[in-house]
A and B are shown apart, each in its own frame.
Chain A
Amino acid sequence: MACSLIIFGWLYGSGLPPFHTIKSSVYSKAPLHGAALLQAFSVFTLVALGLIIIKIFAFLPFAKVFIIAISLAAMILSITMALMQTDFKRIIGYLAVGERGYIGIGLGLGTAYGITTGLFPAVNEAVITAFLFIGFGNVLYKTGESDIRKLGGMVVQTPEVALLVLLAGLALAGVPPLNAFKSKFMLIQASLNVGIPELGIIMILLSIVTFMTFMKAFYAIYMRPKPRDLEINSSKIPKSTIFSLVVFLIVCIILGLFPQIATSYLQPLANSLI
């Protein structure tokens, strides 16, 4: 009973189903710089409570099975829902929630390597999702519009931001040498080590769909011709915003090339839990 109630609180705090719609709705309605912080707090809540659940209730085999099942549900439901959205804030909100499923699967595997691979995506997703929220926030700044059906041609207006947002999307999808590739690769290895290759198949499939969802939004906002009735603000993107995006990109590249910067701290923590 205690485990079920703590897990219920964990589901709410981290935005896993059935609370994934609430969290994605909050991210879509908050100012995008606020949403960048909110999603990071949700990731940290997921990790903190998840580690507590594993530490206290690891003797219950059903707890790990349930964590894996709910994480799968989060990934599948959120990423498929992201495909159906027309508001780019909701698309990123659902993708952010879907990526938490990867963290939950790592934690639910229950091995030291599995927990390490669950914590590493937490670090990566906090950075990448903030990168995306701030990157797409520039579109809202320039146009005041978030419906991708009414947007277009933004690559002409802000080419440097378009490039940075494209790199953020590639990071989210797990393209090497960016950080999420390494974390997803390690997760797939961990699931193969435990003897559940089906988890690896689902993770690969959903990574492809994540990339497809991002490219749909990117094409609609940046690549296709600008609609005639779209009004664009003539003010320039603040240099501080570009600087923050570049910092995120540098963090993504460094963690992608040198994952041991993060995993060397996470592995002893994971070993102490088992």
Chain B
Amino acid sequence: MSLYDIIISKIKQIQGKDTEDKPVTSIAVSSTLAAEITLLSSILVAVIMLRHYSNALMVIAVLMVMGIVVSAMPIMPKLKTEQNDSLNRMIFYVILALGIITTLFYWGGGLNV
């Protein structure tokens, strides 16, 4: 199954069972592809900023991001499913974010980074 077919099936999944018979529009597919490319290129350029701290860390991070991206593609349909209006999901990510922020500042707030 090519990447294009995977994207089409993911879009159909997001749109719900009642639209299974309707064709996926070219606008939807091109938007998903554009969002995917934007996400990957932005994350890769952002990870390159780690060069200010350590070149070795940057290389490892870039290789890890590329590995995760290749194995998890397509990412945008999954992100869209996760970022919906569900209150449970929102609360989960809010509590997760609070934990991460508190941990980062508590243990690393004094770091000279």
Contacts and interface: CB of A to CB of B under 8 A. Distances in A.
A232 interface: no
Nearest to B25: A149
Interface in A186-220: 195-196, 198-199, 201-202, 205-206, 209, 212, 216, 220
A20 B72 CA distance: 23
Interface stretch (A3-11, A111-119, A127-135, A260-268): A3-11
A157 interface: no
A62 B80 contact: no
A212 B34 contact: yes
Interface stretch (A41-49, A76-84, A137-145, A170-178): A76-84
B68 to A, nearest CB: 15
B111 A205 contact: no
B48 A198 contact: yes
A229 B89 CA distance: 36
B49 to A, nearest CB: 5
A209 B109 CA distance: 34
A60 B110 contact: yes
Contact of A76 (B39, B49, B80): B39
Q: Is the interface of B mostly helix, strand, loop or mixed?
A: helix
A80 B76 contact: yes
A80 B38 contact: yes
B38 A205 contact: yes
A84 B94 CA distance: 22
A66 B107 CA distance: 14
Interface residues of A, number: 43
B106 A205 contact: no
A196 B35 CA distance: 24
B41 A11 contact: no
A199 to B, nearest CB: 7
B101 A4 contact: yes
B109 A83 contact: no
Interface string A49-92: 00000000000111101100000100111011101101000000
Contacts of B9: none
What is the predominant secondary structure among interface residues of chain A facing chain B? helix
Interface size range on B against A: 35 or more
B56 interface: no
B96 A18 contact: yes
B29 to A, nearest CB: 11
Contacts of B106: 1, 4
B108 A62 contact: yes
A136 to B, nearest CB: 17
A241 interface: no
A198 B109 contact: no
A22 B90 contact: yes
Interface of A: 1, 3-5, 7-8, 11, 17-22, 25, 60-63, 65-66, 72, 75-77, 79-81, 83-84, 86, 149, 195-196, 198-199, 201-202, 205-206, 209, 212, 216, 220
Given A4-B105, A22-B90, A84-B80, 17 more contacts: A1-B102, A4-B106, A8-B98, A18-B90, A21-B85, A62-B104, A62-B105, A62-B111, A80-B38, A84-B35, A196-B49, A196-B52, A198-B46, A205-B45, A206-B38, A206-B42, A216-B31
